[in-house]
Structure 1
Amino acid sequence: MMNLQAGKNSVTFKSFGVDLAGDLYLPEGFDANKTYKAIVGTSPFPQVKGQIPAIYGPEMAKRGFIYLGFDFLGMGDSPALPGEYMKSRYMFRLIENTWDAVSYLGTLPFVDEIYGLGVCQGGSILASAAVTDHRIKKIATVSGMMAADAFQWGNRDIANMMIAGANASKQKMYETGEADYVWPNVINDTMSREEFVATGTPMADDTYNFYGKDGVAGPGKVEHFTNEHIGDQAMESLISIAEHYADKIIQPTLVVYGPNAATAICSTAFIDKLTNNPEVLAFDEFSHVDFYWKPEAVKASTDAVAEFFNK
């Protein structure tokens, strides 16, 4: 066993035959001879472990938990598969990466029960993974995108445009053997706030607060992060798995969200489909992205998650 200590520890674990890079956050006074409740953390699209995991990891460790944040396959410090491209963040693989993260935590002798905490797209990944992974004993989602059909398919013309672009990108990459990168969230790494807001993108100001070049965790501020992404992403991100299997989830579930956020329906529609009597916490004062970084929002969500996991 490597020499682990309280705070952040760099680790790797196998998934799809390659080493995924992770940060394992351990609580103050960590003692490898004791056992702890552990959390696998799943992050928003298109984040790397220096963003949400680097915010939520220390907070959950401060509350006595072990927290594993990691870079999904082809993201950040984790390699792509041989012959494939970086930033190919495909939902089906994200789920399997999460299963493997759970397996890794299960090898640690100081880990007791394993829980899951997903933020934004991470909520969808986690909920999907938990359907058939009962090693995950409880799940919590924050600003989760679990029920994304209404959000993503509300305007079929826009959805079809995204699909057409993704299809063309996939064909181009197959024929050329080269990566085709785009700006799927419309924001690029050089835009000012004014330029991005002027595009009329929903949640533009909120999004820029985190992902913009002047945002709290944008390009240049977080290692290996860029808003650029692989061009065929929409072919998988438009397939929302969690909401269609919500009634199969048996683990105790906590859903934290902002009812005034544009993404609220992704939580409320999921809650409506759950059959496991979920706990729900709605914070009127916080937006979708507030839960990523604003100290008061992060404290509210991590306090709630800690209380839920400690029950």
Structure 2
Amino acid sequence: MSEYYTFELNKNVNRTSVSYNNRYGITLAGDLYTAKDMDAEKKYPALVIGAPYGGVKEQGPGVYANQLAQRGFVVLTFDASYNGESGGEPRHTSSPEIFSEDFSAGVDYLGTHPFVDRSKIGALGICGSGGFALSAAAMDVRIKAIATTSMYDISAMRDLFPSEMLTAQMQQLAEQRWKDFENGEPTYVPTFPESPVDDVPEGLEANAAEFFSYYGLKRGHHPNARGGFTLTSNLPFFNYQLLNHIATVSPRPILFVMGENAHSRFFSENAYAAAAEPKELYIVPDAIHIDLYDKVEKIPFDKIVEFFKSSM
């Protein structure tokens, strides 16, 4: 489905399908974006961009790469391990450690190109990838600057449950492990339809309706991004906290970008409070969470470019 993109490629940008392995030997599928007038004899700053949790490279990451390549960056987008066109079995598995590793694997790949300045490689995470990018940066000092947009810290979700609800969910997932083992494969229940529909179904909770308005409609629908992961994928996030070491990213800078009206604001605000200087919290006026997936007129690309160019 690599030909299925949710945006139009700018006439001044080249996009090349690439593949490379992460540290676990999983083959990642990516797209490399460069300006058509790039001088391959020179060295350029580079960015690796991760998709929203459950998203793919043909959606939001490509929207960002399409813009940032025009502004002087070499940009790599990728599908997370076990998802999209990347390798790994079983499909639709989620792993906080491996998803963080996928960012470092992108740095590995970018750094092999003679036209990339290894001392100027940054990471940008959209939604759930914001947490994975920060987790990767906490241990990978090659990542010189980090930006997140509409960040979700998936591992913080356990703190949103009352203790009795968390205990019940862990018990339910423990039972699910036996079912998966007996069935020979993990259970995966997609959230969004196989083909896009025209309207958001009635009766959805507000946040679910917001996500459906992107992933379930023509705006952002992609057959490789139907939402959700194998049911037992939630278990490691109860035990692996992505941002425990966010303060150690310093002195490398972090930019948190969030919508003024985003339901996810508290994730960025909490991460900002835990991070050490230098750090910045940038609020996009009159924007909700999914606006920063693909609304080019709202995504503050000038701010993002200024941040990376001044920080690396």
Q: Aligning the two structures, in what range does the TM-score lie when normalised by the shorter sequence?
A: 0.7 to 0.9
Aligned to 1:124: 131
Q: Where do residues 109-258 of structure 1 align in structure 2 (5 Å cutoff)?
A: 109-112=114-117, 113-146=120-153, 149=156, 152-156=158-162, 158-183=165-190, 187-189=192-194, 193-195=199-201, 197-200=202-205, 202-212=206-216, 214-218=217-221, 222-239=222-239, 241-250=241-250, 251-258=252-259
Q: Where do residues 1-311 of structure 1 align in structure 2 (5 Å cutoff)?
A: 6-15=13-22, 16-80=24-88, 84-112=89-117, 113-146=120-153, 149=156, 152-156=158-162, 158-183=165-190, 187-189=192-194, 193-195=199-201, 197-200=202-205, 202-212=206-216, 214-218=217-221, 222-239=222-239, 241-250=241-250, 251-298=252-299, 300=300, 302-311=301-310
For the Cα contact (< 8 Å) 1:125–1:242, is it kept in 2? yes
> What letter is aligned with 2:138?
V
Output the aligned Cα RMSD: 2.3
Could you say what secondary structure the match of 1:140 adopts?
strand
Between the two proteins, what is the percent identity of the paired residues?
Answer: 28
- 1:148 offset after TM fit, Å? 5.5
TM value normalised by structure 2: 0.86
Query: Kindly tell me: are residues 95 and 241 of structure 1, through their superposed partners in 2, closer, same or farther at Cα, counting changes over 3 Å?
Result: same
For the Cα contact (< 8 Å) 1:147–1:243, is it kept in 2? no
Q: Which runs of 4+ in 1 moved over 6 A?
A: none
Aligned to 2:6: none
- 1:290 offset after TM fit, Å? 0.8
Measure the CA separation in 2 of the matches of 1:239 and 1:305: 32
For the Cα contact (< 8 Å) 2:18–2:29, is it kept in 1? yes
Could you say what secondary structure the match of 2:33 adopts?
strand
> What letter is aligned with 2:236?
E
> What letter is aligned with 2:125?
G
Could you say what secondary structure the match of 1:55 adopts?
helix
Measure the CA separation in 2 of the matches of 1:194 and 1:26: 36
For the Cα contact (< 8 Å) 2:50–2:57, is it kept in 1? no
- Please list every run of 5 or more consecutive structure 1 residues that lacks an aligned counterpart in the other structure: none
- Please list every run of 5 or more consecutive structure 2 residues that lacks an aligned counterpart in the other structure: 1-11
Measure the CA separation in 2 of the matches of 1:265 and 1:147: 13
Measure the CA separation in 2 of the matches of 1:283 and 1:152: 28
Instruction: Show CA shifts across 1:275-298 (max 9, x none).
Output: 123022112311111100122223
> What letter is aligned with 1:141?
T
Query: Kindly tell me: are residues 252 and 33 of structure 1, through their superposed partners in 2, closer, same or farther at Cα, counting changes over 3 Å?
Result: same
For the Cα contact (< 8 Å) 1:254–1:279, is it kept in 2? yes
TM value normalised by structure 1: 0.86
Measure the CA separation in 2 of the matches of 1:148 and 1:88: 15
For the Cα contact (< 8 Å) 1:138–1:309, is it kept in 2? yes
